[in-house]
Amino acid sequence: MKLSTLHTLNQAEMDALPQVVFRLAGAVEDWPGLLDHYRYVSVLSGPRVAVPDCERVVKMGASHLYIPVSWTAKQTLDTKAQEVRYEHIEGVTTGMKVVWRMRAADRGTMVTIDHALSSPRWWLRNPLSSYILGRVFVAAIADKTLRGIKVEAESSSRRKS
């Protein structure tokens, strides 16, 4: 069976400490209050609030271009690596692996979000549908998320200064 592969990479430099960004990136239960494009986040299992090195299952809903999208993912917070990892377990993107990486940079933190999906779904073999899913939705939603987390991380860092 031929697998279709989809990959996107988003990044942003934030004027905030890596641990500040890591806390915001992991606390998805707070995203609907911080990010306009997130409609809801429900914690289905595991800690209701993000805690260091936890694993939990979350159902997330966002919208892009006035189109609602949703997925369920297993979330893993790795404090030592400063990574938040997801594996999508329900939805159109089932099987997608996502890694948020926070690395110290000259002016704070370089944040990358790496989405990768290898799928046997026949419709992803079509370049147009792969482009729509990957660029129009996944990358665009990740960009909006990064911009919102950047605003919150930088304003949070200024408040503590």
Number of domains within the chain:
1
> Is the model's pLDDT at 160 over the cut of 80?
no
> Is the model's pLDDT at 143 over the cut of 90?
yes
Which of 93, 147, 83 minimizes the C-alpha distance to 116? 93
Q: Give pTM, 2 decimals.
A: 0.92
Which of 86, 14, 75, 71 minimizes the C-alpha distance to 47? 75
Q: Are 41 and 73 in contact (CB under 8 A)?
A: no
> Is the model's pLDDT at 151 over the cut of 60?
yes
Mapped onto helix, strand or coil, the DSSP state of residue 77 is strand
Q: Indicate the length of the chain as a whole number.
A: 161
Q: What are 122-135's pLDDT values in tens digits?
A: 777 788 888 999 99
> Is the model's pLDDT at 161 over the cut of 70?
no
Q: Which domain holds residue 86?
A: 4-160
Query: How far apart are the C-alpha atoms of 13 and 108, rounded to whole Å?
Result: 7
Q: What are 70-119's pLDDT values in tens digits?
A: 999 999 999 999 999 999 999 999 999 999 999 999 889 999 999 999 88
Q: What are 24-74's pLDDT values in tens digits?
A: 999 999 999 999 999 999 999 999 999 999 999 999 999 999 999 999 999
Residue 136 belongs to domain with CATH number: 3.30.530.20
C-alpha gyration radius of the chain:
16
Helices 140-160 + 18-26 axis angle, to 10: 130
